[in-house]
Amino acid sequence: MLLAALFAIPCSAATDEPPTQLRIQFDGREYATTAGAPIEVDVGGRKARLRVDEMPWRHFVQGSLQFDYPRHFPWESDPSPPRSWTLDGNDAVIMVFEQPATQARDPEDVAAGFEKTLGAKAPAEHAKAVLRTEHAGTLTGVASTVRLATSTISHEVFALGKGDHAWLLVLQDALDEQGDHSSEYIEMRKRLSATLEF
């Protein structure tokens, strides 16, 4: 009976991701802690409490291109020219492709390439994509929606920068049964709008 009672106790820690382990160097001394846990540090012979929390975002920087993206998105990069990066969430994905002036591709061609790769039997739906940003102004690109047998995938493709400092930014999402964007995509796009610079 006691064993059954022990298993019935709810344990939120079992469902939470473990905190990140951190090493902090402060005034020549090293401290180990976990994110969000307060620690005591010595500041000139006086004890002070220090707490380091992880933000829910990581910061992408390549050349002059920079933006925040969700911390849980795994990072993949392909260093072969032209370089590319994929930041892949559960439903939403950010892809960045370098655009050397000699190999520049337009957003329509890139969207068509994704459509071909997905191999949909029905033609894709196209529209104008608009991304209003706080630092880079209003960006326009192409939006493509591909309906497959069991899912619907959307892509927004934007050309950023010019000359030797140009990139293609691709935002991908798995739409729900009603054709709406995932909450992960909505939050990702909102943060991108607030932080994108190039």
CA separation for the pair 169, 147 (Å, rounded): 22
The pair phi, psi for residue 184, each rounded to 5°, is -60, -45
pLDDT in tens, 88-135: 999 999 999 998 877 788 888 888 888 888 877 778 899 999 999 999
Percent of the chain with pLDDT over 90: 62
Q: Which residue has the higher pLDDT, 162 or 134?
A: 134
Q: Which domains does the chain have, with CATH numbers?
A: 2-50 (no CATH), 57-195 (3.40.1000)
Mean pLDDT of the chain: 88
How far does CA 188 lie from the centroid of its chain? Answer: 6
Q: Which residues pair with 85 in a beta bridge?
A: 77, 96
Burial class from Cβ neighbours inside 10 Å (0-12, 13-18, 19+) for residue 32 reads exposed
- Sort strands 125-133 and 84-88 into parallel, antiparallel or unpaired: unpaired
Max Cα distance, the chain (Å): 73
The pair phi, psi for residue 186, each rounded to 5°, is -60, -45
pLDDT in tens, 28-67: 889 899 999 999 988 888 999 989 999 999 999 998 999 9
pLDDT(26) > 90: no
> pTM of this prediction?
0.82
The pair phi, psi for residue 161, each rounded to 5°, is 75, -170
Strand blocks (E) in 7-151: 21-26, 29-34, 39-43, 46-50, 57-62, 65-70, 75-78, 84-88, 92-98, 125-133, 137-147
